[in-house]
Amino acid sequence: MSPPSLHETIHSLLAPGKGILAADESLPTLGRRFETHGIPSTAESRRAYRELLFSAPQMGDSISGVILFDETIRQRNSSDVPFATALARDGMVPGIKVDKGVVGLTNFAGETITEGLDGLRDRLTEYRSFGARFAKWRAVIHIGPTLPTEHAIRCNTHSLALYAALCQETGLVPIVEPETVMDGAHSLARCAEVTQSVLETVFSALVSQRVRLEHVLLKVNMVISGTDCPRKDEVSEVSHATRQCLLRAVPAAVPGILFLSGGQSDELATLRLAAICALPNLPWTISFSFGRALQESVMNAWKGNPANIPAAQAKLLQHAAANGRATLHPSKAIPEPLRPESSNSPPTSLLPKEPIVRPAEGLRWELGGILAQAGNFGAIHSKSEAHRFQSELLRIHPPEEIERMRLYVREKLPPGSRVGGAATRELERDFRRAADQLHDERYRQAGFGDVVKGLLLWVETTEERADENRLLKTLEI
């Protein structure tokens, strides 16, 4: 039997209602967690703990794959079966962490670079012979008053791209993980800015390295404020900021996005995951690849005592199932409706007076995303470009929200409006106020006049298309 293709591996990893267990902690990291509970860190104690995780009954119902550490993929369970083989038999895809951790980036205080490229091609071949079907490489990006630097981002994304290319060459699916860490006092907006910049650079590097994006999985942080930030984010703020960031930076060719927990509590990570999965019209499969958020309660229950294994496994299954449900039925994982965030609400001058029926999940109007797309496609000079703009909006936003925007523009720009006229100048002022409030540079850079011109032509072609559709229906009758 031939080995599974990259496409088949991705299909298995992105199975509905399932996510990936990150059990790839390095020896020092796992040792520190053991020490907290008074557990000696030895090869046998680490093996016993991994077996506790991997042998939990029916874990494959919520876990599609497991990321192993170098030591673990070489170990066997108590039945003398290699861990990778045992996982595959239970319907989970074995993977492997292949980076060798972070070190300080020379001459760049406070920034790091991930090591592990030396000899990587040979190590990937060896891991594949052990049964690994995917790999993971983590780059760490820190936020500070002057961080990250462009050099640090470029160095880390270059390593990610080269690693991904080597993985695909070897027949392994690369999980690319550029993590913007939570440490610091930065705001949610600052995290969004850095995360977007990092992701844009990552995919530029992947394309330059000729990596096939349809055979890559992205593991990424949610957009959240730093741990020392005095303002705590609402769940809805995190989900909308994360969605906006991903839509701007991640190509639709990428089949799936896996969120990391990044030090969040298990409950909060699940709630935020559910809120992101509830958002409409995302072009990727959304899932999770949690480590600490799945294991923290397990370690607390186990404490190195074999008698506690059933209770510890029950904790793992409970949290894994909750996250699986979050990806399938987001509303069931959220105890109460998400509250719209008043600080990020669109200016009232940009809202039409007519009421509109809300989507089933009660999600608010994504004004910022629509205007950002208007900036991306602002320089529209033909009807075909206007149709392309409308198609892009419909891909990202619910149809009723697009209709709301069209009605507003039609009200602001009556028949006979021209760019530079009084009506368009008023609309430009509205957009400028929205830009100041939303801190969005996309359509600022395109020029407000071009944005208005594009929206004006878009409305005209939309109404022409509606007339054509009505005529076609009449002819059919």
> Which residues on neighbouring strands pair with residue 470, listed in sequence order?
none
Catalytic member of 177, 179, 234, 401: 177
3-state helix, strand, coil in the chain (%, to 5): 55, 10, 35
Q: From residue 125, how far is each of 9, 66, 120, 132, 308 by CA, in Å?
A: 17, 19, 9, 9, 38
18, 97, 136, 219: which one is catalytic? 219
Closest CA to 279 of 388, 147, 121, 401: 401
Question: How far is it, in rounded angstroms, from Cα 105 to Cα 107?
Answer: 6
Beta pairing, strands 285-290 & 19-22: parallel
Torsion sign over Cα 109, 111, 113, 114: positive
Q: Is residue 177 flagged as an active site residue?
A: yes
Residues 153, 141 contacting (CB under 8 angstroms): yes
Alpha helices in 149-222 (DSSP H): 150-170, 188-208
Instruction: Determine contact, residues 124/170, Cβ cutoff 8 Å.
Output: yes
Residue among 106, 109, 88, 111 at smallest CA distance from 12: 88
- What are 144's strand-pairing partners? 147
Written as six digits, the tokens of 47 are 């093996």
Are residues 115 and 99 in contact, defined by beta-carbon separation less than 8 angstroms?
Answer: yes
Q: How far apart are CA 323 and CA 18, in angstroms?
A: 8
Task: Please report which residue ranges of 41-186 form alpha helices under DSSP H.
Answer: 43-54, 70-73, 83-89, 120-130, 150-170
CA distances from 50 to 69, 285, 438 (A): 10, 28, 46
Q: Is 75 within 8 Å of 69 (Cβ atoms)? A: no
> In a 3-state reduction of DSSP, which class is residue 459?
helix
β-pair partners for 173: 134
Going from the C-alpha of 372 to that of each of 146, 206, 353, 378, the distances in angstroms are 26, 24, 22, 9
Active-site residue, 25 included? no
The set of catalytic residues is 177, 219
